[in-house]
Amino acid sequence: MKKTEIAKNLAAIKKDLKTAHLIAVTKYSPVEDVIAAYQAHHYDFGENRVQDLKEKADTFVKENLNKVRWHFIGHLQSNKVRELYKIPNLYAIHSVDSLSLLEELIKYENDFLGLELKIFFQVNTSHETEKSGFETAEELNRAIDLLMSRGNSKLKFYGLMTMGTIRTTEFEAEAMRCFRDLNLIARNLEKAHGLKEKLKLSMGMSQDYKLAIEAGSDFIRVGSAIFKSHHS
């Protein structure tokens, strides 16, 4: 895709952001397109697969593009944790979807190269079976307690992530319900766990990010609206 087109798409989305941050999702994009976005002064990128992220991150290191912040946003398998930790400039994991995955992340946290890794717990607000994420408040609270009980951990409980309902005829209404639910869960957790800092919300994708911003999203995850050509 042309560099100018990527820059134009980024600028258009950034007009809508208000206080939200844009994570440019690179899962179907060649590394050249990601570098084009970086050269347009965008530094936050999201990737779904550890192997793809490793390849892109290695290229960024070779090209000396050091301002990049990588966000892992896909389903993370326990056996890929150590590999993920070795990725330079890993900034956040948005998809910690179970207590067992958190335990694995804690077990190998010394493999993480950076000083702090932001952790988002994924909550299945749509309750669709094909989605991963915490289903019950009880399990989510246990995970939060475990993470917060560790004084000098590099892993920082930073926020919550969700996706709007996929299978629905009421796409907008359902997305809005999922996003508002996540906002409510976050505010309740802040009280319950005595958190001083507001939890960040990672929600909204290419097709529903405007709704997510309206519902209080802090990080939107947008791929096709940036990296795909849109011919009207």
Q: Where are the domains of the chain?
A: 3-227
- Pull the structure tokens for residue 18: 């208000």
Per-residue pLDDT tens digits of the chain, which is 232 residues long: 899 999 999 999 999 999 999 999 999 899 999 999 999 999 999 999 999 999 999 999 999 999 999 999 999 999 999 999 999 999 999 999 999 999 999 999 999 999 999 999 999 999 988 899 999 999 999 999 999 999 889 999 999 999 999 888 999 999 999 999 999 999 999 999 999 999 999 999 999 999 999 999 999 999 999 998 765 4
Token pair 């915490």 in the structure block, residue: 134
User: 187-190 — which CB contacts under 8 Å span 24+ positions?
Assistant: 189/140, 189/141, 189/144, 189/160
Token pair 């791929």 in the structure block, residue: 223
Contact between residue 232 and residue 34 where contact means Cβ atoms under 8 Å apart: no
- DSSP letter for 147, please: H
Give the helix/strand (H/E) hosting 56: helix 50-62
Pairing of strands 200-202, 90-96: unpaired
Calpha distance 21→14 (Å, rounded): 8
pLDDT in the model for residue 166: 85
Question: Looking at this protein, which amino acid is placed at residue 232?
Answer: S
CATH (residue range 3-227) = 3.20.20.10
pLDDT in the model for residue 230: 62
Calpha distance 212→216 (Å, rounded): 6
Spell out the residues 6+ positions from residue 87 whose beta carbon is closer than 8 angstroms to its own. Answer: 50, 53, 54, 57, 70, 113
pLDDT in the model for residue 154: 97
pLDDT in the model for residue 192: 95
- Residue 110 CB burial class (10 angstroms; 0-12, 13-18, ≥19): exposed
Question: Looking at this protein, which amino acid is placed at residue 180?
Answer: R
- Name the nearest CA neighbour of 188 among 129, 140, 133: 140
Contact between residue 10 and residue 38 where contact means Cβ atoms under 8 Å apart: no
- Name the nearest CA neighbour of 217 among 151, 164, 150, 138: 164
pLDDT in the model for residue 232: 42
pLDDT in the model for residue 229: 74
